Structure 1
Amino acid sequence: MPPKRLRQLWGKWALLILPLGLGLYILYPTYRAWTLENRKAALQASGDSVQLAEFDQLYGAALQNAKQNALKLGLDLRGGMYVTLEVDVVKLLEEAAEREAIDDLFRQVLEATRQEAERSDEPVLSIFLRHFDRIARPQGRSLISYYDVGDLREISEEKILERLQRNIDDAINQAQEVIRQRVDKYGVAEANIQKQGTRRLVLELPGVTNEAEMRQLLQTTARLEFKLVRNNEEAVRAFSAIDQYLKRQRSGQSHSLTPPDTLQAQPAAPDTLQSDTVRSTSDTTTDPYAGLSDEERQRRFKEDFPFTSLFVTYYIQNERFVPVDYRRGEFPEGEYFFQIPKANLAEFETILARPDVQRLIPAEYEVALSAKPDERLQRQGYEIYTLYVLKREPELTGDVITDARATFDPTTHAPIVLMDMNTEGAERWARITGANVGKKIAIVLDGRVYSAPVVQTKITGGRSQITGMSSVQEAHLLEIVLKAGALKAPVKIIEERIVGPSLGEDSIRRGLLASVVAFLLVVLFMVGYYTAGGAVAVFALLVNVVLILALLSAFKGTLTLPGIAGIILTMGMAVDANILIFERIREELRRGRSLRTAVDEGHKRALSAILDSNITTFITGLILYFFGTGPIQGFAITLMIGILTTLFTALIVARAFIEILMAYDIHLTYGLPRKWLVAPTS
């Protein structure tokens, strides 16, 4: 072939080589990650820690880089968790209201809203308004009765509704972003997080194996607060008042108010407290339950003290823990200590949640539980939690936290989380600790007290720490949620599905088998019917599949089982485009046209039919993508990418291949006898 003629074919060769080469180059990290992961899995299975450490040193960075650029496999192929989260919009509406204005009518509205929202996909704000109009408005209430209107010049219910809707939208968007950050920091790089409806998020988390950790990570609100501890005589008097109130509610009961010895009637705290436990003076009084069986004693005591019988109360006197005698009604000033067994928590929280009981507790106080049972008592077989009475308004919140690090306490070697504050937070923390030397400040996360250390001195520099974690993993999870930030509203898991790795591997195996079988059947038909022309179509089909996978990888797409179905469908459509072209070429050859003319006319005549069918299918893919969810969207994306690559490979790549073959005087028969062929003209 003359050099000039050869140079004219360079563009044709480029159309063949560049797409295939570029596609394989983009897919190389996928192959690299697959081979390295297999090698690492083999070393982990062998238990050879030395070789595993050597592998991490040599290939750790390469594996991480390859995984970041590899084709992502969906949940159905890799295995993992499928989770549907729902933002607690009702809680958001409650917290937006003025606390002093909340009454029984408003609580009825919230409860009715919550019950209907659990059964309906209607926007929660619409449900709330409907129940508000039914329950509260006939009693003369309006939204202005419960919500701060801000600027009095713009006082109207419409402004309140606009603000509430804006708060809800912000909470959903913020929840999506915060959860994405948490999941990314946890290491699930291929997570798919999408909104569903007005209050839900759908998460696909491939590769997740520790479901319990992930549930905790997702549902933690991460609302960090620093609150002053108020375990004082005022709190104890409130607890005693709750006893008397609950007993008065029990009609037809007139048992004595005199309790038996507190430690005998209640679950006793073991002798592992920080100081000696001494008995109160009530030990010398006559036991009003003398002669009763243990079961009857417990029943009678619980009737007389329905609230304080659930927990143990101590008065701290000269570093000694003195059990409190609630029948005396005398509570000296000072610090108190409360503990409650796990078995009593449900009843305790039920009583404490009652609005009528809440009114007996000073408005500026709240009761909180420790996040974990006492470790020393737990080692002895007791699950005992500590109760704290806290100042309701926090001195400081987690908004000032700039960094969090999981590490170990150098003294106790227990896992802790160190926190750094911004400049404003550091200044406020210094003022707070300086004003409360000798007092306890509780570190509260999502309403649970992780620690309540005594302030020894003014703390400057904006450094603090959280203790109370039982493991390094728990400390690491807390580090993640603190770094990602707090959610504006709680979220809860309403649906959860686990896809096992073995099921994912089976899906991959079946999907690959289906793809290979489909490809081989196409090859047999095309080569058998169109001979060498069929081989050109097969090459174009191969380039097509490579380009689909490469584009998915390049644009950080995810290959799913429906996506594989989309690829198989695309293979059929790609072959269909080639068949249309080849049939038009055969028609021209039968009319006696030369091979060159037949190829030109065949492509021209087939173009409109190919474009019509592919454009209509592409529009169908768009509809599926915008109106579908999850697997349907995965199928639609792969289908649309496949249509674009099909047009490119059928109209450009295959045509370039045919042009090159004709330039080298290789005559394609397209399945016709050679008598129909006329020598091509240049």
Structure 2
Amino acid sequence: MEVCSLKKYFGKILLVVVPVIAAIVLLYPTYQASKLEEKEAQAIAKAKQATNSTDSLAIMKAFKKQYGEALKTAKARRLKLGLDLRGGMYVTMEVDVVKLIEETAQRETIDEIFKDVIAKTRNEAAKSDEAAMNIFLRYFNNIARPQGKSLLNYFDVGDLRDASEDKIIASLNESIDKAIDQAQEVIRQRIDQYGVSEPNIQKQGSRRIMLEFPGVTNQDEMRSLLQTTARLEFKLVRNYKEIVQAFYKIDKMLSNKIKAGKGLIEEPIAELDALKADTLKVEQPKTKQDTAKLAQSSDTTKTDTTKTDTTKTDKDTVNDPYAGLPPEEAQRRYALDHPFTTLFSTFFVPGQNQNIVPIYYTSDQFPDGEYIFRIPKDSIPKLLVMLSRPDVAALIPADLEIAIDAKPDTRLLQRQNIEIFDFYALKKEPELTGEVISNARASFDPTTNQPVVLMSMNSDGAESWARITGANLKKRIAIVLDGRVYSAPTVQSKITGGNSQITGMANAEEARLLEIVLNAGALKAPVQIIEERVVGPSLGEDSIRSGLNASLIAVILVVLYMIMYYGVGGALADFAVLLNVSLILSVLAALGGTLTLPGIAGIILTIGMAVDANVLIFERIREELDNGRSMRSAIDEGYRKALSAIIDSNVTTFFTGAILYFLGTGPIQGFALTLMIGILGTLFTAIVVTRAIIEIFMTKGVASFDFGQPKIKQYN
């Protein structure tokens, strides 16, 4: 008999048990991820307390080996929480399409007309949502075309027999579309490698990308990760006589304009003497090395400036134009005569292991050899402004550009707490680019224990690197990332194998970020953050607490009311409501959806709708019992008569939710999604699950069921 009875309601048991098991299975990764993140936090805390970097790395490697794969899998499958619940960053980025157009033009053809078009395009694009290409074409037609210029004058058209402006425009539009798509993909790869879970990355308009990063706590790192273009270039250093002579000419030109009242506003510049004094107090920092061979070599600038020969300066000769003047007056006149070179300090390197010589620009005669340029951090903006002037740029050799170190001199920073940067004259055309890098890996230099990024090149890159280093022995090659110099070592021997390294990182985390951006690839066009909102973790915690409290209060009140008013039937309805909430969360997790505060509001609304469905059913059952029907008959009729009203109300609400989801954005979509899932769950739990449980009881021979009906009546 027991076997026969079990067979009768086995299917109904499955209708109840399967959803419960499914909810547990789908929500388990959320629980697992939470526990593993606690273990990860403990491992990170231990790693920070480690006495050296080796122990720190060992702790993190052990954690990754034991839990890394499980944590990654759990994060991918867990229920995602939105910014309003976890805290994090909301960022809108814009691809610099104008820069892409400018760089697509042939460099040798760019003239003042084209620069004017680009400048006006950039100004308007910054204030408008119009496609940058349309703005560019409008200004080109208004400015360049009346002066006899066409797009063919500036852009490479390949086969001249098939050249046309339409093809140039089509090619530019295609490049822009590819650059935006590529930027979106590169950012996604960087974020994935960084370890941000559940990022939301969407394209907006013609040149913008919207990003949401729940749980991000280090905003500075994320900004660096997002905005780094990752353009890696290897360029020859040209700190030679020609650039010093150019600086001398710039001084003369600016000084004449100042004296004529046409140039810069005279400002007291006191950095020169302080910088030279600071530099003479400390040992010149060793040039950073980029390969194992270079690490063992000596750099031409590895000179102890405590032995600087100050007797060889022009200023101390009989030709000193400021001789005999009081120090303050001499400094004032020198600054007036040298508005450009007083921003930085210049040193001449006579030869290896020889004393470096401070250089003053009082004469146009400079020795042949290598020079060092050093500038205080506060003077860098002034230097960049001056270099951007057309009259200044015209005096710098056309094949050279100025680039500044990415990091200040660590020795000066540690000893005297001043930030001094080296800057370099580099050959504009790179000898090699980051496209040849096949792999980048953060590590530590075994000799200095400083963080480095080891790079491996593909076969073509290795061959080119061997040729370049072989052809430039005893010369310096700068490793430039996004226009900043990370290292500029002297080549001591031909380097084969295609291995190199970047130094200059402040810590292991910075090296890891550089590893990520190099492996993800360079952006075809620069990107910049135009809007940023940060939701602090405390706000996220408050939101979670408030949302959970509201949900719990709602559930408790509903549970108590249903039990008090509908008895056992009310308890059954409460079980169905809780199961419905579990199903909503589990389906969200399975679909990769994100739970937000509006989503919690949708869940609370669903709780009310689920209870309403059960109330309709129970009231119909009680009406049928009052009409004299038996318990079995009343249950059948109650479900049948309530069904149409339940379906009508839920289906119409579902359609409303669908409209909100497809036409709305962000928070509205979160509310609509949980509402739609909740409605489907309501129909299932209220109509199927509760009926199955009641049927199980009735099949076991229960003659009466408590729906809160008056006890004085007996229903059979």
Judge same fold: TM > 0.5, yes or no: yes
1:28-57 CA distance string (max 9 Å, x none)? 33334445655776899999989x979969
Query: Which residue of structure 1 lines up, in the alignment, with residue 457 of structure 2?
Result: 421
* Cα pair 2:440 2:515 within 8 Å, conserved: yes
| 2:309 is aligned with 1:280 | no
* Cα pair 1:339 1:384 within 8 Å, conserved: yes
| 2:347 is aligned with 1:314 | yes
| 2:99 is aligned with 1:99 | no
* Cα pair 2:5 2:700 within 8 Å, conserved: no
Structure 2 residue corresponding to 1:510, chosen from 546, 571, 584: 546
Q: Distance in 2 between matches of 1:146 and 1:631?
A: 46
Map 1:528-539 onto structure 2 (within 5 A): 528-539=564-575
* Cα pair 1:592 1:677 within 8 Å, conserved: no
* Secondary structure of the corresponding residue to residue 229 of structure 2: coil
| 2:230 is aligned with 1:222 | yes
Change in Cα spacing, 1:303 to 1:47, as seen in structure 2 (3 Å) is closer
Q: Distance in 2 between matches of 1:38 and 1:161?
A: 54
Map 1:159-198 onto structure 2 (within 5 A): 159-198=167-206
Once the two structures are TM-superposed, the CA of residue 660 in structure 1 deviates from its matched residue by 1.7
Q: Distance in 1 between matches of 2:212 and 2:150?
A: 42
Structure 2 residue corresponding to 1:492, chosen from 517, 522, 528: 528
Structure 2 residue corresponding to 1:520, chosen from 531, 543, 556: 556
Aligned length: 673
Map 1:214-253 onto structure 2 (within 5 A): 214-250=222-258, 252=260
* Counterpart code for 1:317: P
Q: Distance in 2 between matches of 1:496 and 1:59?
A: 37
* Counterpart code for 1:277: T
Map 1:518-667 onto structure 2 (within 5 A): 518-589=554-625, 592-666=628-702, 667=704
1:374-395 CA distance string (max 9 Å, x none)? 2223233232211211111111
Q: Distance in 2 between matches of 1:141 and 1:58?
A: 62
Query: Which residue of structure 2 lines up, in the alignment, with residue 10 of structure 1?
Result: 10
Map 1:254-269 onto structure 2 (within 5 A): 267-268=276-277, 269=279
Q: Distance in 1 between matches of 2:472 and 2:146?
A: 48
Query: Which residue of structure 1 lines up, in the alignment, with residue 143 of structure 2?
Result: 135
Structure 1 residue corresponding to 2:507, chosen from 464, 471, 479: 471
Once the two structures are TM-superposed, the CA of residue 477 in structure 1 deviates from its matched residue by 1.5
Change in Cα spacing, 1:303 to 1:571, as seen in structure 2 (3 Å) is same
Once the two structures are TM-superposed, the CA of residue 133 in structure 1 deviates from its matched residue by 3.4
Q: Which region of structure 1 is more displaced relative to structure 2, 515-524 or 118-127? A: 118-127
* Secondary structure of the corresponding residue to residue 338 of structure 1: strand
Q: Which region of structure 1 is more displaced relative to structure 2, 145-154 or 23-32? A: 145-154
Q: Which region of structure 1 is more displaced relative to structure 2, 1-10 or 301-310? A: 1-10
Structure 2 residue corresponding to 1:210, chosen from 207, 215, 218: 218
Once the two structures are TM-superposed, the CA of residue 464 in structure 1 deviates from its matched residue by 0.3
Structure 1 residue corresponding to 2:471, chosen from 432, 435, 459: 435
* Secondary structure of the corresponding residue to residue 418 of structure 1: strand
* Secondary structure of the corresponding residue to residue 216 of structure 2: coil
Consecutive unaligned residues of structure 1, counting only runs of 5 or more, are none
Question: What is the RMSD computed on CA atoms of the aligned residues?
Answer: 3.3
Query: Which residue of structure 1 lines up, in the alignment, with residue 84 of structure 2?
Result: 76
Q: Distance in 1 between matches of 2:624 and 2:142?
A: 78
* Cα pair 1:267 1:341 within 8 Å, conserved: no
Query: Which residue of structure 2 lines up, in the alignment, with residue 342 of structure 1?
Result: 377
1:547-597 CA distance string (max 9 Å, x none)? 111122233333222221121111122223333434444455555555444
* Secondary structure of the corresponding residue to residue 479 of structure 2: strand
Once the two structures are TM-superposed, the CA of residue 234 in structure 1 deviates from its matched residue by 2.2
Change in Cα spacing, 1:491 to 1:47, as seen in structure 2 (3 Å) is closer
* Secondary structure of the corresponding residue to residue 141 of structure 1: coil
| 2:280 is aligned with 1:270 | yes
* Secondary structure of the corresponding residue to residue 148 of structure 1: coil
Once the two structures are TM-superposed, the CA of residue 7 in structure 1 deviates from its matched residue by 0.3
* Counterpart code for 1:366: E
Query: Which residue of structure 2 lines up, in the alignment, with residue 298 of structure 1?
Result: 331
Q: Distance in 2 between matches of 1:284 and 1:93?
A: 52
| 2:424 is aligned with 1:388 | yes
Once the two structures are TM-superposed, the CA of residue 166 in structure 1 deviates from its matched residue by 2.4
1:319-374 CA distance string (max 9 Å, x none)? 33233343432234332222222222111101111233223222221111111112
Q: Which region of structure 1 is more displaced relative to structure 2, 476-485 or 98-107? A: 98-107
Consecutive unaligned residues of structure 2, counting only runs of 5 or more, are 51-55, 264-268, 285-302
Change in Cα spacing, 1:251 to 1:626, as seen in structure 2 (3 Å) is farther
Q: Distance in 2 between matches of 1:610 and 1:135?
A: 68
Q: Distance in 2 between matches of 1:632 and 1:535?
A: 33
1:394-438 CA distance string (max 9 Å, x none)? 111111112112122122222211111111211111111122122
* Counterpart code for 1:453: P
Q: Which region of structure 1 is more displaced relative to structure 2, 575-584 or 37-46? A: 37-46
Q: Distance in 1 between matches of 2:234 and 2:423?
A: 16
* Counterpart code for 1:545: V
Change in Cα spacing, 1:113 to 1:58, as seen in structure 2 (3 Å) is closer
Q: Which region of structure 1 is more displaced relative to structure 2, 65-74 or 641-650? A: 65-74
* Cα pair 2:105 2:156 within 8 Å, conserved: yes
| 2:94 is aligned with 1:86 | yes
* Secondary structure of the corresponding residue to residue 86 of structure 1: strand
Give me the identity figure in percent: 60
1:238-288 CA distance string (max 9 Å, x none)? 222322332343353799xxxx9x975974432423144332344212543
Once the two structures are TM-superposed, the CA of residue 65 in structure 1 deviates from its matched residue by 5.4
Change in Cα spacing, 1:157 to 1:604, as seen in structure 2 (3 Å) is farther
